[in-house]
Amino acid sequence: MAPQQGTGAPGVSDFDAVMLEKGEGGTVARMARLQDSQLDAGNVTVRIDYSTLNYKDALAITGKAPVVRKFPMVPGIDFAGRVEASADDRFKVGDAVVLNGWGAGETLWGGLAQKARVNADLLMALPDGMSARQAMAIGTAGYTAMLALQALERHGATPAKGDVLVTGANGGVGSFAVALLARAGYRVLASTGRPQEAARLTALGAAEVIDRATLAAPGKPLAKERWFAAIDSVGSHTLANACAATRYGGVVAACGLAQGMDFPGTVAPFILRGVTLAGIDSVFAPLPVRLSAWQRLAAQADVAMLDAIAHEIALPESIAAASSLLAGEVRGRIIVDVNR
């Protein structure tokens, strides 16, 4: 059934959503009123409270990259809310749940809507003591940052072994990485192209702020050893330079491609310094991995940190905000209240 604009008084099965369609000039994003019958197939229907606007969502909404695999599509790789209907014994009506990734906003209708229907395998119970808004202040960005931190620790990183570099530090993942690393006792070097935000990064826990220009251009195969570990959400030359300056036996977690998908580096850091390059996939991470990350986030992500990292917009504002996000005009996290 093709999406239609609603008319007349809304019914209990009506809901608002951001709808992406394929037009002659590319992706067209608009607000639409939809019916339950138009939702994806699945055994759990969720009444969404909050979603988010991530970099991938912005690419999908603007059509700047082929994120969406089928049209029409509701974007939004995150959502948190309560179960409205369930045909799976693992979830009952009223249960608080959260979803990250799994192709939401790409192959499955996502969270920038007031409802979603998915298979129960893709849902996770909201951690105890965490609100839906707090979960979306964390969202895929905070969850990815925690996956990266845990990867660093699995490969031997400790505060005593040296500094940790965070690239793209003013973005969603980067902001969380800075805060989580500092909270865990690490000395953090935050790389950003927005030096005017240095005070904010320092408040999040950064010990030093580095101009991203020092990392974004082509560099040497091996540079002076500067940090034991790094979390990179930028890719391209930045990732190559992060690896080149990592100390012997160190580790770099790669989780993004804001600068580019390429990796113009050499094997020198890996075969001469024993550096590990750890890839971070937040989309299809199995449930035990997700639970471990979210449980630690529930314990360590305090409300003050979430308020410093995130700000809230209404659902219709997410379309315009996508362009601002891609233009680098947004700092930290964007929470979307889908019911206003």
Q: pLDDT tens for residues 263-284? A: 999 999 999 999 999 999 999 9
Q: What is the pLDDT of residue 12?
A: 61
Tens digits of residue pLDDT in 122-169: 999 999 989 999 999 999 989 999 999 999 999 999 999 999 999 999
Predicted pLDDT of residue 2? 41
Domain boundaries, the chain: 14-126+302-337, 140-279
pLDDT at 211: 95
CA gap 60, 68 in Å, rounded: 6
Nearest CA to 212 among 200, 198, 223?
A: 198
pTM for the whole thing?
Answer: 0.87
CA distance 293 to 218: 34
Q: What top-level class would CATH report for the domain 140-279?
A: alpha beta
Q: Distance between CA atoms of 241 and 238, rounded to whole angstroms?
A: 5
Residue 3 pLDDT = 42
Phi and psi torsions of 198, nearest 5°? -60, -40
Tally of CA atoms within 13 A in the half-sphere of 250 that contains its CB: 25
- What class has domain 14-126+302-337? alpha beta
Mean per-residue pLDDT, 104-130: 96
CA pair distance 267, 279, nearest whole angstrom: 16
Q: Residue range 65-90: average pLDDT?
A: 96
Amino acid, res. 219: G
pLDDT reading at 304 higher than 50? yes
